[in-house]
Amino acid sequence: MTQLPTRVLNFAVTVLASVMISLASATVLLAQSIDATRAKTLTVEQATQLLKASNSLRLSATDLSPEVAAVLATYKGELRFEALITLSPETSAALATRTSTIDLPKVSTLTPAVAKALATTKGQLQLMGVKELSNEVAKELATHTGSLTLGVTDLSDEAAAALAKHGGNLRLDQLKSLTSLVLAERLGQQEWLFLGGVTNLTLEIAKAICPPENRVKFKNHVQLYIGLTKLPVDVAAAIMAGRGHISANSLETISDEAATAWSGPFANIRLFGLKKLSPAAGASLAKGSGIFDIRLFGPELSDETAAAIAKQMAAGPHRMIDFNGLKKLSSPAFAVAVLRRYQQGPHSTLSGVAEITDDVAQALAEYQGNLNGLPSLTSLKSAPLAAKYASQRGDVVFRKLTTIPDDVAAALATHKDKLDLSGLKSLSLPAARAFAAHEGELILDGLEEMGDEAAATLAKAKDSVSLKALKKISPAARAALGANPKIAIKTSAN
């Protein structure tokens, strides 16, 4: 073997040593950075090292000097002080030089001096820990011009009037009651309004936070997130007049009259907490353009309400309805109406339905257009419906089926694309024969055992088959399946 010259070896050793030193230094710096995020106090040197972190910093510091705050204020990523409870005016002023978000979730009390200093920042100011707001502090915060988030639950009339002078967006998610007209009028000017703690509105306040001109000003993209637990008809009408996107997820019921007030105009209505829906209310909320989203409603919808919604959808115009919380379908007209809008987004699916009646299966099978899938079905006994889905382009997915009749297997096997039956626990010989002729990917990852005849038959598969959970199988069956390179199998001896 030829020996390398000594100078070459020495050079290589020098380079390697330099690389090792650099790696060691980088490791030390990284360790220091990680430790610094957990430190209760920080030095200027540690803060300077933290500036090298990418994306975000979550700091555990409970004490922050003005000098350290000034360094951290220059950080370009997201900055959150997860343990800081109190601030001095000097530290607040140093932090306020920051031009992006200052997030202080544990700070619960502000002095006027601290509020005045923080208010000078041009960036967002997030103070979700502040539950009470004195009049003096409110006046200081009102001089802030960026986005201001507060955790206040109650406001005096004077504090509310002071906040009404705030120049940027206000988020008052925890406010329990909104009674100040001047603050409501100020909030009504915002495109996005978060009042998740407000459970009740007077007509006067509803009109103030939902001025009709906002629909034009913001081109219908006027958001309202509110915690209403009751909805008088006049309040409903006022909200619809000025807000095109309404999320009222604490509302469990809605009267027929209030639903009528929300019928017709463009609106994206989200009522995730809704538990009762009459036929008249269902028809009214379905009427119009936009989205009617009650994705958590269920597990069943009465046949009367389903029929009323289906009738409105047939008459048109109708909103796209999200009923993904339903577990059972018993209305044929409703099933067809909701599933027939093929490839029009997630709101036109019934992805939670586990059970359908025979009448629904027949109606879906006879429908002439394309249908969205029913991926959560736990039973499929209708060969015509299986053939209907098999005739459509795209993936066919029935992951919750544990068994299927042979005629259903034969119908599904005619599909010429991906067929996902990864919930099946058994495979008959006729089903194996049908699936062997399937053109397209076949997923049977739920099968843990297979007989010799079924394995020998499936081994003749024309296209790819996935059998990644197969455990109980004879050596002969394993050899047969393994001889087909299109079959992915994971086996173990009995």
**Which tens digits make up the pLDDT trace of 96-110?**
999 999 999 999 999
Share of the chain above pLDDT 90, in %: 87
What pLDDT score was predicted for residue 12?
A: 47
Closest by CA position to 383, among listed 365, 357, 399, 368? 365
Report residue 463 as tokens: 């296209």
Reply yes or no on whether the pLDDT at 191 is more than 80.
Answer: yes
pLDDT at 14: 53
What pLDDT score was predicted for residue 121? 96
Q: Is the model's pLDDT at 185 over the cut of 80?
A: yes
The whole-number average pLDDT for the span 119-145 is 97
Residue 25 scores a pLDDT above 50: no
The answer to whether residue 363 scores a pLDDT higher than 60 is: yes
Band the pLDDT of 341: cuts 50, 70, 90: low
Asked if 427 and 444 count as a contact pair (C-beta separation under 8 A), the reply is yes
- Least trusted range by pLDDT, from 239-253, 346-360, 385-399: 346-360
Tell whether the model's pLDDT for residue 491 goes beyond 70: no
Predicted confidence at residue 340, as pLDDT, reads 86
Contact, 384 vs 356, CB < 8 A? no
- Read off the pLDDT band of 209 (50, 70, 90): very high
Residue 292 pLDDT greater than 60, yes or no: yes
- By percentage, how much of the chain surpasses pLDDT 70? 91
Q: pLDDT value at position 2? A: 47
Q: How far apart are the first and last CA of the chain?
A: 53
Dist. CA 24–CA 379, nearest whole Å: 60
Distances (CA, A) of 363 to 134, 329, 347, 393, 414: 63, 12, 21, 20, 21
Higher pLDDT, 316 or 67: 67
The pLDDT assigned to 344 comes to 56
Per mean pLDDT, which range of 10-19, 92-101, 140-149, 198-207 is the poorest? 10-19
Q: What is the pLDDT of residue 18?
A: 52
Residue 33 reports pLDDT greater than 60: no
Domains of the chain by residue range: 378-494
Q: Given this model, what pLDDT does residue 477 score? A: 94
Average pLDDT, the chain: 92
Q: Quick check: 493 pLDDT over 50?
A: no
Q: How far apart are CA 72 and CA 42, in angstroms?
A: 10
Q: Does 6 score more than 60 pLDDT?
A: no
pLDDT average, residue stretch 123-131: 96
**pLDDT score recorded for residue 343:** 46
Q: Assess whether pLDDT exceeds 70 at residue 148.
A: yes
Q: Write down the pLDDT at residue 418.
A: 97
In the prediction, which pLDDT does 153 show?
97
Section 393-421 average pLDDT: 97
CB 122 within 8 A of CB 148: no
Neighbours of 226 (CB within 10 A): 25
Return the higher-pLDDT residue of 72 and 350: 72
